Amino acid sequence: MIAIIDYGMGNLHSVSKAVERLGYEAEVTADPQRIIEADGAILPGVGAFGDAMQNLRNTMLDDVAKYYAGSGKPMLGICLGMQLLFSESSEYGSNKGLDLLPGQVVRFSGDFKIPHMGWNKLQFSQPQSPLFKGLSQGHVYFVHSFHALPELKSDLLATTDYYGDVTAIVGRDNLYGMQFHPEKSGELGMALLGNFLALTGGRG
């Protein structure tokens, strides 16, 4: 079973349906025990970083997410969920994140359209990652005003170009994050999600 962590912010239904389309059982849940027992966990997210962290703390799901990340079982953050994996964000003031990956989340800055919205090509920084097995670099769909700056180059799996390199996919050991929504990113997005799910061994 794949746990879709429900902390009140995220495209829970679309993520759940995408997981099911790929042949895996999905459960949207805020139950710590169900999350801990799951073969894989997905932390989705839409909205503001500070509000999301407050919701996680209020439900004690921040501790559950940290515990799960340390369990060795595959965990994926999507969009805001990816940003929450980092140490902190400057969105509406300074906000502490889950601090599972060292780095900051900052707002785009420059004389160009913000938010970054549209189809952009991925550049695989670490083609050997199991997320990219059997895949070629292609386009996925982004909608975001803030982007992550990982401290460690080894945590950066893929970038995209939007007036400079932008973090698109991160990963370390069993922990992964995608800035875009894979379930809304066509064939490549679903293939990336499928490769993550394959790591869980929980098909069917």
Where along the chain do its domains lie?
2-198
Q: What letter would DSSP give residue 29? A: E
Give the C-alpha separation, 74 to 35, whole Å: 12
Q: Is 78 helix (H, G, I), strand (E, B) or coil?
A: strand
Cβ within 8 Å of residue 98, ≥6 positions away: 53, 56, 62, 65, 66, 69, 84, 85, 86
- pLDDT in the model for residue 204: 47
- pLDDT in the model for residue 203: 60
CA neighbor of 192 nearest in space, from 148, 138, 145: 138
Is 27 tagged catalytic? no
Indicate the angle between helix axes 61-69 and 49-58, nearest 10 degrees: 90
- Over its length of 204 residues, how does the chain's per-residue pLDDT go in tens digits? 999 999 998 879 999 999 999 999 999 999 999 999 999 999 998 899 999 999 999 999 999 999 999 999 999 999 999 999 999 999 999 999 999 999 999 999 999 999 999 999 999 999 999 999 999 999 999 999 999 999 999 999 999 999 999 999 999 999 999 999 999 999 999 999 999 999 998 664
- pLDDT in the model for residue 11: 78
Give the C-alpha separation, 82 to 89, whole Å: 12
Is 25 tagged catalytic? no
Kindly name the residue from 13, 79, 91, 187 that is annotated as catalytic. Answer: 79
Kindly name the residue from 116, 144, 147, 183 that is annotated as catalytic. Answer: 183
Task: Return the bridge partners of 103, or none.
Answer: 150
- pLDDT in the model for residue 201: 87
Is 13 tagged catalytic? no
2-198, CATH topology level: Rossmann fold (3.40.50)
- pLDDT in the model for residue 172: 97
Strands annotated E in the chain: 2-5, 26-29, 40-43, 75-78, 86-89, 95-96, 101-107, 116-124, 139-144, 146-150, 156-161, 165-172, 175-178
Kindly name the residue from 25, 151, 181, 187 that is annotated as catalytic. Answer: 181
- pLDDT in the model for residue 202: 64
- pLDDT in the model for residue 10: 80
